[in-house]
Amino acid sequence: MKDKKYHVPKNEQPMNELYVALSEDEGGEGIVSVMTPIGGMPFVFGHKRIMDQAKTYLKDISKDAKKKITIYKFKKSEVVEVFE
């Protein structure tokens, strides 16, 4: 794994909420993502200001894909597993 490059950002504040962009249609809901050279990048953010910056892209995606996109804020959390 030493050849892999990871993005580990500077931690800015406690992660008390997540903002997620979901597309909706008759089949249900799905996390909106964009394709990058290394794969899909989901629109899931831990800070409102970053989600606010993504709104322009989400509006374009909604229009191009002809799908309703809703931004959800998730606040309740449960620790599932910890790796140290």
**Structural domain that includes position 66:** 18-74
Tell me the per-residue pLDDT of 63-81, one tens digit each, with 9 for 90 and over: 999 999 999 999 988 889 9
First to last CA, the chain: 16
In a domain, 46, yes or no: yes
Tell me how many domains the chain contains. Answer: 1
**Residue 83 falls inside a structural domain:** no
Q: Would you say residue 11 lies in a domain? A: no
Q: Which residues contact 7 (CB under 8 A, 6 or more apart)?
A: none
Task: State how far Cα 23 lies from the chain centre.
Answer: 12
Q: Which residues neighbour 41 within 8 Å (Cβ) at sequence distance 6 or greater? A: 33, 34, 35
Q: Which tens digits make up the pLDDT trace of 3-39?
A: 677 777 777 677 789 999 999 888 899 999 999 898 9
